[in-house]
Amino acid sequence: MSSPVVVRDGRADLCDTYSSSREERVVAGAVLNEREGAEAVRGARRVVWGRAVFGSACLWAWGFLAYLSPVLIPAERPVGGVGIEVGFFVSQGAVVVAAVAIVLALRKRSVAVGRGVLLVCASLLALASALLPLTVAIDAPWPLVGCGAICGVAGTLLGCAWGARYSLESRDVSAVVMVSFLVAYGIYFAILLLYVATPFVVAAQVVVVFLPLASWGLWFWDASARSGLAPEVFPSSALSTDIAGSPGSSGKAPGEVTAGSRELHALPWRSLGVIAVAALVGNVMASVIMGTSYEGADSLYPGGIALCACIATMALVPLTAERTAFSVAQLYRITVTFSVVGLVAILVLGAAAVPVGGALVQGCTLFFQPLVYVVVTRSTRLQGLSPLVAFGVGQALISAVVLAGNLAGKLLFQVAGETPLLLSAVCGAGVLALFFMVVARAAQVGEEGNEEKDGGTEEMEAETRGADRVKAAAAGRGSSGVAAGERLFEDGGTTEAATLPNGDCAAGVGAQGEDSAAVFARAVGLTARETEILSLLVRGRTLPYIANELFVTTGTVKTHVRHIYEKALVNNRQELLDKVEAR
């Protein structure tokens, strides 16, 4: 008698395909078919992620090449002219203005960002990229300012579109985001090498011009493929009955770029603040270094991008070696360490160490961008935030820091002049600032008991902590399930689930919480699907968990939640929970 099919870790292993019985041969064939189907699904997923990774990488690479490389800077330009850095500063300011306008506009009305708007943005980016060399060559300040403003606003919207793509997954995809930046660094160096080869200068410029259009094309391809399964991908006024057929709802889908909560307090401000302070120090240092000594300055940005690629590779090593998600906190410490090493090198060796030390500082400053993107992606996915708001604010934060740091560095250089003392003083102050900031952060983590976990580990441990709190509350307070449920949202609703080891919800939340949710649903006229989602919300489930539970996309859940908020006359989850508890 041959061995049967054995299931280990959720995967079927065929022990002996040469079975003597027909039944076992049928089972063997089923297992093989299942394996073939799983391989086909994995292959399709790789193709889909390939589009997303390369499409977003085209946008990131364009941002590096447009202003942080010599590709679009003409070889012959007026001495003492405006310079491309003015366009860069204007673009950073435009990102901040665009984010503020987005937040204010969404408070008054619903804003739809669809394929047409994003195509216009990509086209404007391509046009601005083509005009940048001309405006610098003829020293035309106002056209240069206009190109910078276009790049800031249009780039922000395209960045939000890719942020929406990554944040709608039911599992953490931080590693995929990091891979996209790693690919962008590769594109940067490939085009830079093409530019260095004299016969291909124009070809390199043409490639840079078409990068935004390539990014939009891959986004549209990916979004169109997903729209067949999820009708809320693009903005629409006619949805399926399951989404829009409920009385009292608007019946419109704003699209995946806009859909979600617009509450700014749900963003991870503590994590973003720590990254922003370090980025500010790095930008001040880099600006002073560039202003003090331009010898070897051409190597600062390529060297910085190379360092970013190294850190991104280091982030992916735990994923490939141990199948664990990387920690943003660890990457932050690594990045700050490289920055301190660069500053100490300049402090000890002086201007001779600027090419290497400056590249380390510049690279660390640039790497804070993917860190912010990963943090915002995780928060948007777990909290159900609107990608347009979350990623707009995230990009604005980095742009504001870059603008403030560079202007502060130039102001210091103008006041103190080109003296070795300025370089030493600024580098010493930077080392002390980064050191005390890391120490303060460590002390803060110690007071809180544990540093915040990241990725899939965070979600699993949050689920365990939620289960422990619910069991303790159930034991101590009996049927006070709603009060136990309140504590699940003390961390902003990031607890994945308050589930007992056997998969059942704790008695307090499961019984009284669901009853109050059902009463509240009938009172405000929720549909059956909205009632189902409400019952999961009051039990502490996140939107990705609900999407998996109901076999729908996270975008569909966001649309249902928006309709629940409209009918309940609330603006966020906490207000909704308060009303449900009041019932």
Q: Contact, 173 vs 385, CB < 8 A?
A: no
The answer for residues whose C-beta is within 8 angstroms of residue 505's C-beta and 6 or more apart is 470, 498, 499, 539
pLDDT classification of 24: cutoffs 50, 70, 90:
very low
Amino acid, res. 123 = S
- Tell me, what's the pLDDT at 331? 86
Amino acid, res. 159 = G
Residue where the block lists tokens 């996209």: 180
pLDDT classification of 285: cutoffs 50, 70, 90:
confident
pLDDT classification of 13: cutoffs 50, 70, 90:
very low
pLDDT classification of 441: cutoffs 50, 70, 90:
low
- Tell me, what's the pLDDT at 171? 80
Instruction: Give the C-alpha separation, 312 to 182, whole Å.
Output: 6
Q: Which of 78-92, 375-389, 401-415 has the lowest mean pLDDT?
A: 78-92
Q: Contact, 116 vs 203, CB < 8 A?
A: no
Residue where the block lists tokens 């065929």: 14
Handedness of CA 379, 385, 387, 392 (dihedral sign): negative
| Gyration radius (Cα) of the chain, Å | 26
Q: 3-class DSSP state for residue 236?
A: strand
pLDDT digits (tens, 9 = 90+) for 424-433: 888 888 888 8
222: pLDDT strictly greater than 70: yes
State mean pLDDT over 59-67.
93
Q: Contact, 505 vs 565, CB < 8 A?
A: no
Report CA-CA distances (Å) from 526 to 135, 245, 564. 57, 11, 7
Q: Contact, 539 vs 162, CB < 8 A?
A: no
Q: Contact, 426 vs 285, CB < 8 A?
A: yes
Map out the domains of the chain with their CATH numbers: 57-250 (no CATH), 265-449 (1.20.1250), 455-582 (no CATH)
User: What are the φ and ψ backbone dihedral angles of 80, each rounded to 5 degrees?
Assistant: 75, 15
Q: Which of 87-91, 168-172, 442-446 has the lowest mean pLDDT?
A: 442-446
Q: Count Cβ atoms within 10 A of the Cβ of residue 422 and give its class: 0-12 exposed, 13-18 middle, 19 or more buried.
A: middle
139: pLDDT strictly greater than 90: no
Q: What global pTM score does this model have?
A: 0.78
pLDDT digits (tens, 9 = 90+) for 349-402: 887 888 888 889 999 999 999 999 999 999 898 888 889 999 999 999 999 999
Amino acid, res. 171 = R
- Tell me, what's the pLDDT at 138? 86
If we measure between CA atoms, which residue out of 191, 67, 184 comes closest to residue 129? Answer: 67
pLDDT classification of 46: cutoffs 50, 70, 90:
low
pLDDT classification of 318: cutoffs 50, 70, 90:
low
Q: Which of 95-99, 221-225, 458-462 has the lowest mean pLDDT?
A: 458-462
